[in-house]
Chains A and B, each alone.
Chain A
Amino acid sequence: GENVEQHPSTLSVQEGDSAVIKCTYSDSASNYFPWYKQELGKRPQLIIDIRSNVGEKKDQRIAVTLNKTAKHFSLHITETQPEDSAVYFCAASVEDSSYKLIFGSGTRLLVRP
């Protein structure tokens, strides 16, 4: 089945710097790749997603890139702010009867003011 690897597990950056989180997936049939942000004790919330027919997508300070050949995708956050501090999860959607999400293990991002 699908397996998603995520790194780094923790990332500390200075406010204003960029942050990059990387994920790889194993199932070449996966076709939808969302990123979720989860603050402590809160629900995961979608921040950006990309489908397999697109190589890059941007939304203000957030961008995601997808390399289908290499089976990896990355989250880029520019001009980081303290409120970006949270755990970020990448996921891949398996094309089967459910389109369930297979999540990575998460990256704890700390933005130092």
Chain B
Amino acid sequence: GAGVSQSPRYKVAKRGQDVALRCDPISGHVSLFWYQQALGQGPEFLTYFQNEAQLDKSGLPSDRFFAERPEGSVSTLKIQRTQQEDSAVYLCASSPGQGPGEQYFGPGTRLTVT
């Protein structure tokens, strides 16, 4: 079946622009996570949704970052007024239920801020 998909795969933004990154999780998956992966580093948690509820946004680095999942399926991560330090790969992951278990990752969106 279809895995987690993300779009766009690559995004170049000028400093100060707003960007929106989309995640399509596996159909029926309750949990959805966003991670940020800097070059040569492990993924770092940004935020978590259980269905449409954003239960944890402790990893969002600033109030320029905003995420939503209004209907409990597709999610969008928005970054306002992008800065060079926002350059990274943004990974989305989903899992079938709540609680610990395998997270299925998307291919990521590579964001480059110039």
Residues of B within 8 A of A (CB): 4, 31, 33, 35, 40-45, 48, 50, 55-56, 59, 91, 98-108
Residue among B59, B100, B104, B106 having the largest count of chain A Cβ atoms under 10 Å: B100
What would 27 A/B residue contacts be, using CB atoms closer than 8 Å?
A32-B100, A34-B102, A36-B105, A43-B4, A43-B106, A44-B105, A45-B105, A51-B100, A89-B42, A89-B43, A91-B42, A93-B100, A95-B100, A97-B55, A98-B48, A98-B55, A98-B56, A99-B31, A99-B101, A100-B48, A100-B59, A101-B33, A102-B45, A104-B42, A105-B42, A106-B41, A106-B42
Q: A49 to chain B: which residues have CB within 8 Å?
A: 102
Cα of A32 to Cα of B98 in the assembled complex, Å: 13
Give the total number of A-B pairs whose CB atoms are below 8 A apart.
64
Q: How many residues of A contact B (CB 8 A)?
A: 27
Asked if A100 meets B56 with Cβ closer than 8 Å, knowing A32-B100, A49-B102, the reply is yes
> Distance in Å from the Cβ of A106 to the closest Cβ of chain B?
5
Residues of A within 8 A of B (CB): 6, 31-32, 34, 36, 42-46, 49, 51, 89, 91, 93, 95-106
Inter-subunit contact A44/B107 (CB<8 Å): no
Inter-subunit contact A99/B99 (CB<8 Å): yes
